[in-house]
Amino acid sequence: MATYADIYANWQADPEAFWANAATDINWIKAPDVILDTANAPMTTWFPDAVCNTCYNAVDRHVAAGRGDQTAIIHDSPVTDSQTKITYADLLDRVSRIAGVLAAKGIEKGDRVVIYMPMIPEALVAMLACARIGAVHSVVFGGFAAHELAVRIDDATPKAILAASCGIEGQKVIPYKPLLDGAIARADHKPDFTLVLQRPQAEAELVGGFDFDWTAEAAIAAHAPCTPVGGADSLYILYTSGTTGQPKGVVRHNAGHMVALNWTMKNIYNVDAGDVFWAASDVGWVVGHSYICYGPLLAGCTTVVFEGKPIGTPDAGTFWRVIEEHDVKVLFTAPTALRAIKREDPNAEYLHNYDLSGLQSLFLAGERADPDTIGWAQKYLQKPIIDHWWQTETGWAIAANPLGIEELAIKPGSPAVPMPGYQVDILDEGGNPVAAGELGAIAIKLPLPPGALPTLWNAEDRYKSAYLQTFPGYYETGDAGIKDDDGYLYIMARTDDVINVAGHRLSTGAMEEVLSNHPDVAECAVIGIGDALKGQAPLGLVCLNNGTDRSEEEIAKECVALVRQEIGPVAAFKRCIVIDALPKTRSGKVLRGTMVSIADSTPWNLPATIDDPATLDAIAARIAGIGETLS
First to last CA, the chain: 37
The site partner of 406 among ligand COA, ligand AMP, none (C-beta below 5 to 8 Å per kind) is none
Which CB, 93 or 282, lies closer to ligand COA? 282
- The contacts of residue 403 (CB under 8 Å, 6+ apart) are 268, 269, 270, 360, 361, 384, 386
The site partner of 398 among ligand COA, ligand AMP, none (C-beta below 5 to 8 Å per kind) is none
Maximum Cα–Cα distance across the chain: 74
Q: What is the DSSP letter of 47?
A: S
Which CB, 67 or 494, lies closer to ligand AMP? 494
The site partner of 478 among ligand AMP, ligand COA, none (C-beta below 5 to 8 Å per kind) is ligand AMP
Q: Find the binder of ligand COA among 570, 582, 595, 623 (CB under 6 A).
A: 570
The site partner of 142 among ligand AMP, ligand COA, none (C-beta below 5 to 8 Å per kind) is ligand COA
Which CB, 36 or 341, lies closer to ligand COA? 341
Which CB, 366 or 421, lies closer to ligand COA? 366
For the segment 142-181, give every residue that binds ligand COA (CB under 6 A). 142-143, 167, 169, 174
**Of 126, 123, 146, which is closest to residue 284 (Cα–Cα)?**
123
- Which range in 32-40, 164-172, 291-299, 362-370 contacts ligand AMP by CB under 6 A? 362-370
Helices (H) and strands (E) counted in the chain, each on its own, are 20, 31
Q: What are phi and psi of 117, to 5 degrees?
A: -140, 150
DSSP H helical segments within 14-140, as ranges? 15-22, 54-55, 61-62, 88-104, 121-132
Is residue 500 part of the contact set for ligand AMP (CB under 6 A)? yes
Q: What is the DSSP letter of 206?
A: P
Task: Answer yes or no: are the C-beta atoms of 542 and 555 closer than 8 Å.
Answer: yes
The site partner of 281 among ligand COA, ligand AMP, none (C-beta below 5 to 8 Å per kind) is ligand COA
- Indicate if the alpha-carbon torsion angle 465, 466, 471, 472 is positive or negative: negative
Q: Is 572 exposed, middle or buried (0-12, 13-18, 19+ CB in 10 A)?
A: buried
Q: Find the binder of ligand AMP among 134, 418, 449, 478 (CB under 6 A).
A: 478
**Least gap, CB of 5 to ligand COA (angstroms):** 29
Q: Would you put residue 568 in left (φ > 0), alpha (ψ -120 to 50) or beta?
A: left
**Least gap, CB of 130 to ligand AMP (angstroms):** 21
Is residue 98 part of the contact set for ligand AMP (CB under 6 A)? no
Report the distance separating Cα 112 and Cα 138, nearest Å: 7
Which CB, 63 or 180, lies closer to ligand COA? 180
Is residue 234 part of the contact set for ligand AMP (CB under 6 A)? no
Q: Is 206 exposed, middle or buried (0-12, 13-18, 19+ CB in 10 A)?
A: middle
For the segment 397-436, give every residue that binds ligand AMP (CB under 6 A). 415
Q: Find the binder of ligand COA among 260, 271, 287, 630 (CB under 6 A).
A: 287
Is residue 368 part of the contact set for ligand AMP (CB under 6 A)? yes
Report the distance separating Cα 203 and Cα 514, nearest Å: 31
- The contacts of residue 64 (CB under 8 Å, 6+ apart) are none
Q: Find the binder of ligand AMP among 233, 387, 425, 476 (CB under 6 A).
A: 387
Is residue 629 part of the contact set for ligand AMP (CB under 6 A)? no
Which CB, 319 or 490, lies closer to ligand COA? 319
Site string for ligand COA, 99-128 (x = CB under 6 A): -------------------x----------
Q: Find the binder of ligand AMP among 254, 392, 455, 508 (CB under 6 A).
A: 392
Site string for ligand COA, 306-335 (x = CB under 6 A): ---xxx----------------------x-
Is residue 479 part of the contact set for ligand AMP (CB under 6 A)? yes
3-state secondary structure of 344: helix
For the segment 235-294, give every residue that binds ligand AMP (CB under 6 A). 240, 286
- Which range in 72-80, 277-285, 384-392, 480-488 contacts ligand COA by CB under 6 A? 277-285
If one counts every other C-beta atom within 10 angstroms of the C-beta of residue 51, the result is: 17
Task: Answer yes or no: are the C-beta atoms of 317 and 353 closer than 8 Å.
Answer: yes
Report the distance separating Cα 306 and Cα 278, nearest Å: 8
Interface positions with ligand COA (CB under 6 A): 118, 142-143, 167, 169, 174, 281-282, 285, 287, 309-311, 334, 336-337, 340, 366, 502-504, 533, 569-570, 572
